[in-house]
């Protein structure tokens, strides 16, 4: 089955700096890659997603890039704010049915 690796497991940045989280996947058939944000004690919520026919997608301060050849995708958060502090999970889906999640990155934005 699909294996999704995520790095780093923890990340601390100063407010205003950028944060980058990277994921790799193993199944070249995966074609949908969402990112979820989970605040402490709350449910995971989708923040951005990308499909395999697109190399990059941006939504305000958040962007995701996908390199299908290398089988990796990354989340970029610019101008970080304290409210960006959370655990971020990447995921990959082949069938759109079973989503394989990464191990999570705990992001701390230091004011």
Partner 1 sequence: EPEVTQTPSHQVTQMGQEVILRCVPISNHLYFYWYRQILGQKVEFLVSFYNNEISEKSEIFDDQFSVERPDGSNFTLKIRSTKLEDSAMYFCASRGPVPANTGELFFGEGSRLTVL
Give the count of residues interacting with partner 1 (CB under 8 A). 24
Tokens (6 digits) for 63? 């962007």
Q: Is the bond preceding 70 in cis, omega lying within 30 degrees of 0?
A: no
Q: Give the shortest CB-42-to-partner 1 separation in angstroms.
A: 7
- Judged by CB, which is closer to partner 1: 5, or 15? 5
- Judged by CB, which is closer to partner 1: 9, or 16? 9
Q: Give the shortest CB-51-to-partner 1 separation in angstroms.
A: 7
- Judged by CB, which is closer to partner 1: 41, or 111? 41
**Helix, strand, or coil (residue 89):** strand
Backbone angles phi, psi at 18, to 5 degrees: -95, 155
Backbone angles phi, psi at 84, to 5 degrees: -80, -10
Backbone angles phi, psi at 43, to 5 degrees: -80, 150
**Helix, strand, or coil (residue 12):** strand
In the list 23, 24, 25, 34, the residue contacting partner 1 (rule: CB under 8 A) is 34
In the list 17, 46, 56, 61, the residue contacting partner 1 (rule: CB under 8 A) is 46
Judged by the rule CB under 8 A, the positions of this chain that interact with partner 1 are 31-32, 34, 36, 42-46, 49, 51, 89, 93-104
């Amino acid at each position: 089955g699909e294996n999704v690796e995520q790095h780093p497991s923890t990340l601390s940045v100063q407010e205003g700096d950028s944060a980058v989280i990277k994921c790799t996947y193993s199944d070249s058939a995966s074609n949908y890659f969402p990112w979820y944000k989970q605040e402490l004690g709350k449910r995971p919520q989708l923040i951005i997603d990308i499909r395999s026919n697109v190399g990059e997608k941006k939504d305000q301060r958040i962007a995701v890039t996908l390199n299908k050849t290398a089988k990796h995708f990354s989340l970029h958060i610019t101008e970080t704010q304290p409210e960006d502090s959370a655990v971020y999970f990447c995921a990959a889906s082949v069938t759109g049915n079973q989503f394989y999640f990464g191990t999570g990155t705990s992001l701390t934005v230091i004011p």
